[in-house]
Chains A and B, each alone.
Chain A
């Protein structure tokens, strides 16, 4: 019995390795290792940190696509809201710490900051859903994809300009959440900030996955993304689920913005780069495919890091975009197929 089950598992594992998805994942890992050997461990660290954070942004984007059916162009602005909140929460904490180095805030200050950013991001998501998208949804669902897309473009411009108007266009950044020596693992130096950023991404992605798979509400979100009418029929309220989805996906982007404040200071259009990265990921892994987005995020991150490493930092968007064009031509549904089929042609 057990042997048979084991055999079955092996067969499935082998089949997966031979599938396009498996091959790409394994290929990515191999390439990452080769590059690491060639150039040094920091390449791997960069890939993993960038990948983890891109995963947070891309997962949220995939979620808005899958559940609300919105091709979100303003998603980077929730990243921006996260970094802005983090800046204004962490700056006073830091000043306080300078005079009270023994305070427990030295350890918990960064976490408090990131949680504050997460909450503000979630609220921003709920507000956009209730004041903008719900209004459109109630008026007309004709041409929904195009209309909602245009709305998100407007929202993006609005938020970028609001930032500039109220907070100014300068860079509002910090040197780091943690001071002190970087951690040394096998001769690779990792700053504490990067290590924490990656740990946080890992925890959040895992927690999110557990939530979507095992909780009643998580299942309801998946149900809405797979069949809206079916969800209504079994008694799931769409308004609540859509609001929650926006809260979640915007909170994820805000967490990324806050965790990366030491790399990307807050300024009006700081969200554009993560937005493009997230779109690359979502197109690569299939629209609306939330788990695929996690894998895709690491691939895009590796591609970006490699481009910077071997070609030059000016090219880091050119190579991924070229790849996306090729993928769209040969595999319009993405490498992992789409968990939520036909999100855009519903």
Chain B
């Protein structure tokens, strides 16, 4: 198992959000986490990424406990988190943002290779490379956020709502890029609002409601599940 989360409880201050969340991701898998607004999906990803401290429970990455480590150390272990808010460096150019993404990579040649890889995946970023991140459109920023996440050559990519606020065509673009990455062997854990689409492209999924995992299974099974259809698709 690449990532194992066992009986995780987490929240903000005294407010507990996640209750006994257990999930796992194998190498090369494309896994999704879906659920209604406020269910705790972002909180789950943030806790794995080291931005929220767990109250109890274990997080193992490559068999090694990472629960409670600060975010920068989790990043160094090979987990890249692309947050909902993107957290770009708004007063740096696209190029500088990507360079910051490779902060943990010392080797100059490897940095160049990663940059070429990201520009290859998102050709649009090439045109914009000297533009300040803060002045880019929502879609371009999403691409930049994912691109920056890939610069560190991560083993596991956690992506939070990549399609949020994007026009359908751009959403399609972003989904395609993620697909390409998975085909190249990347492991991805995806959180998305667009449940139909997400269950159609991922291998496996978890359904989170009120901070608990209610259902899990193969994505095509989940897509046919009566409960899922009732909650998310209103049928």
B60 at the interface (CB under 8 A from A): no
Contact A233/B83 with A223-B89, A226-B89, A238-B72 known, Cβ cut-off 8 Å:
yes
Per the bound structure, the CA–CA distance linking A234 and B99 in Å amounts to 10
Residues of A within 8 A of B92 (CB): 219, 222-223, 226
Contact A233/B87 with A220-B103, A222-B92, A223-B100 known, Cβ cut-off 8 Å:
yes
Cβ of B72 and Cβ of A237 under 8 Å apart? yes
B116 at the interface (CB under 8 A from A): no
Minimum CB distance partner of A230 in chain B: B87
Of B88, B99, B104, which is within 8 A of A230 by CB? Answer: B88
A192 at the interface (CB under 8 A from B): no
Contact A219/B96 with A232-B51, A233-B49 known, Cβ cut-off 8 Å:
yes
Residues of B within 8 A of A229 (CB): 51, 71, 83, 85, 87
B47 at the interface (CB under 8 A from A): no
Cβ of A222 and Cβ of B89 under 8 Å apart? yes
How many whole Å from A85's CB to the nearest CB in chain B? 34
Cβ of A232 and Cβ of B71 under 8 Å apart? yes
B206 at the interface (CB under 8 A from A): no
Minimum CB distance partner of A340 in chain B: B91
A312 at the interface (CB under 8 A from B): no
> Could you tell me the dominant secondary structure of chain A's interface residues?
helix
A316 at the interface (CB under 8 A from B): no
B50 at the interface (CB under 8 A from A): yes
Give the segment of B14-22, B36-44, B73-81, B179-187 that binds chain A.
Answer: B73-81
Per the bound structure, the CA–CA distance linking A231 and B148 in Å amounts to 11
Interface 1/0 per residue, B48-78 and A, CB below 8 Å: 0111000000000000000000111101100
Per the bound structure, the CA–CA distance linking A234 and B79 in Å amounts to 10
Per the bound structure, the CA–CA distance linking A284 and B51 in Å amounts to 35
Residues of A within 8 A of B85 (CB): 229
Residues of B within 8 A of A220 (CB): 100, 103
Residues of B within 8 A of A233 (CB): 49, 51, 71, 75, 80-81, 83, 87, 149
Residues of A within 8 A of B81 (CB): 233
Q: Which of A190-249 contact B (CB under 8 A)?
A: 216, 219-220, 222-223, 226-227, 229-238
How many whole Å from B213's CB to the nearest CB in chain A? 25
Interface residues on B, range: 20 to 34
Minimum CB distance partner of B85 in chain A: A229
Interface 1/0 per residue, A148-191 and B, CB below 8 Å: 00000000000000000000000000000000000000000000
Minimum CB distance partner of A226 in chain B: B89
Residues of A within 8 A of B70 (CB): 232, 237-238
Contact A227/B99 with A232-B75, A234-B75 known, Cβ cut-off 8 Å:
no
B101 at the interface (CB under 8 A from A): yes
Residues of B within 8 A of A227 (CB): 87-90
Cβ of B103 and Cβ of A234 under 8 Å apart? yes
B152 at the interface (CB under 8 A from A): yes
Cβ of A230 and Cβ of B89 under 8 Å apart? yes
Cβ of A341 and Cβ of B51 under 8 Å apart? no
- Number of A interface residues, CB 8 Å? 20
How many whole Å from B74's CB to the nearest CB in chain A? 9
Cβ of A236 and Cβ of B103 under 8 Å apart? yes
Per the bound structure, the CA–CA distance linking A219 and B50 in Å amounts to 22
Per the bound structure, the CA–CA distance linking A317 and B114 in Å amounts to 54
Residues of B within 8 A of A341 (CB): 90-91
Cβ of A234 and Cβ of B104 under 8 Å apart? yes
Residues of B within 8 A of A339 (CB): 91
How many whole Å from B144's CB to the nearest CB in chain A? 11
Per the bound structure, the CA–CA distance linking A229 and B83 in Å amounts to 9
Cβ of B91 and Cβ of A234 under 8 Å apart? no
Q: Which of A125-144 contact B (CB under 8 A)?
A: none
Cβ of A236 and Cβ of B72 under 8 Å apart? yes
Of A216, A226, A234, which is within 8 A of B152 by CB? Answer: A234
Per the bound structure, the CA–CA distance linking A219 and B73 in Å amounts to 19
Cβ of B51 and Cβ of A234 under 8 Å apart? no
Minimum CB distance partner of A341 in chain B: B90
Residues of B within 8 A of A223 (CB): 89, 92, 100, 103
How many whole Å from B206's CB to the nearest CB in chain A? 23
Cβ of B99 and Cβ of A219 under 8 Å apart? yes
Of B72, B90, B91, B152, which is within 8 A of A232 by CB? Answer: B72
Cβ of A235 and Cβ of B89 under 8 Å apart? no
Further 17 A-B residue pairs, CB within 8 A, beyond A232-B50, A233-B149, A234-B75: A216-B103, A219-B92, A219-B96, A219-B99, A223-B89, A223-B103, A226-B89, A230-B88, A232-B72, A232-B75, A233-B75, A233-B83, A234-B148, A235-B76, A235-B152, A236-B103, A341-B91
7 A-B pairs with the lowest CB-CB distances in the bound complex, closest first: A230-B87, A232-B71, A235-B75, A235-B104, A226-B89, A229-B87, A237-B72
Show the binding face of B for A, using Cβ within 8 Å. 49-51, 70-73, 75-76, 80-81, 83, 85-92, 96, 99-101, 103-104, 148-149, 151-152
In the assembled complex, 25 residue pairs joining A and B whose CB atoms fall closer than 8 Å, in A order, are A219-B100, A220-B100, A222-B89, A222-B91, A223-B89, A223-B103, A226-B89, A226-B90, A227-B87, A231-B72, A232-B70, A232-B75, A233-B49, A233-B71, A233-B80, A233-B149, A234-B100, A234-B151, A234-B152, A235-B75, A235-B104, A236-B72, A237-B73, A238-B70, A340-B91
